[in-house]
């Protein structure tokens, strides 16, 4: 199956980034949001990032304009009817995502593929909410999607071979580095990274160390390109806590549960870069 047109449902940080990547790679891309105000806000972010690439000499102006021309916006899921692949990137709540999958059944062609960008929820459960479970896969992009090369392509027990392999090949056509995995809580990277990051935060209190020194220790002692506190600020404290809670609910392993320190930070709105303050302050 050849993918020619792509739909992206949900144009928040991840969805907008995925839509940008698809449009840049030459695909007709339809972005759907619940309001045109939110959709236009996402278009503005995409325009900004592409313009910055032009200014830095990493993209030609003509290519920037062509990418933007390939992006269309809508509030109606019916406008995704001709899409060969739809990537769902709405809020990380099973009920919300399941409702989107059920609605897509009514408008998409029988052989269209539906992919979820979930980072922590069960792709199998989402496939069960669809009338086309064999055409459902996971495509977990990493934040920020235009910059991070990895895509975890997640297979359920009932996924059709052609749907799964088409999704994998599509990730390659985006210029990404995909890896294959089966549906399991946290998939690959988060299954390893989330408990590790939680351990790092617990060390802050147990070793009575500063966030600066912890980051310095991991960068210069373990070769990390970015310290754990800086990385959590980039991801978003709330995002990490939500994913950590989902993993703990699925596995009941103590290391998966978010440390109390992170929970308090999320409750206080100290979410990292996006709020201007997390472990560090951002001007």
Residues labelled as active-site residues: 119, 140, 152, 190
Contact 143, 235 (CB under 8 A): yes
CA 42/CA 61 separation, integer angstroms: 20
Count the Cβ atoms, other than its own, within 10 Å of residue 73. Answer: 18
Contact 117, 153 (CB under 8 A): no
CA 39/CA 107 separation, integer angstroms: 20
CA 201/CA 263 separation, integer angstroms: 11
Q: Of 193, 179, 12, 197, give the one whose Cα is nearest residue 93.
A: 12
CA 187/CA 120 separation, integer angstroms: 8
CA 26/CA 246 separation, integer angstroms: 35
- Alpha carbon of residue 11 to chain centroid: 11
Contact 9, 77 (CB under 8 A): yes
CA 54/CA 164 separation, integer angstroms: 34
Contact 159, 137 (CB under 8 A): yes
């Amino acid at each position: 199956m050849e993918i020619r047109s792509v739909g992206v449902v949900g144009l928040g940080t991840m969805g907008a980034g995925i839509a940008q990547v698809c449009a840049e790679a030459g695909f007709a891309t339809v972005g759907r949001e619940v309001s045109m105000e939110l959709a236009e806000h996402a278009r503005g972010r995409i325009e900004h990032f592409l313009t910055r690439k032009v200014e830095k000499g990493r993209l030609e102006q003509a290519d920037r304009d062509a990418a933007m021309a390939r992006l269309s916006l809508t509030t109606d899921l019916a406008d995704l009817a001709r899409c060969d692949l739809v990537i769902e990137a709405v809020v990380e709540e099973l009920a919300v995502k399941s409702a989107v999958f059920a609605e897509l059944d009514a408008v998409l062609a029988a052989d269209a593929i539906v992919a979820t960008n979930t980072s922590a929820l069960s792709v199998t459960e989402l496939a069960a909410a669809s009338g086309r479970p064999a055409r459902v896969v996971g495509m977990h992009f990493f934040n920020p999607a235009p910059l991070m090369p990895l895509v975890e392509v997640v297979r359920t027990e009932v996924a059709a071979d052609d749907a799964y392999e088409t999704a994998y090949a599509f990730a390659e056509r985006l210029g990404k580095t995909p890896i294959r995995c089966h549906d399991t809580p946290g998939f690959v990277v988060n299954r390893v990274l989330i408990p590790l990051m939680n351990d790092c935060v617990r060390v802050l209190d147990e070793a009575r160390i500063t966030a600066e020194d912890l980051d310095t220790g991991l960068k210069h002692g373990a070769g990390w390109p970015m310290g754990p506190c800086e990385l959590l600020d980039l991801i978003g404290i709330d995002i990490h806590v939500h994913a950590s809670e989902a993993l703990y609910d699925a596995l009941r392993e103590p290391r998966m549960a978010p440390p109390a320190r992170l929970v308090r930070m999320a409750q206080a709105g100290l979410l990292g870069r996006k709020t201007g303050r997390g472990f560090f302050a951002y001007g």
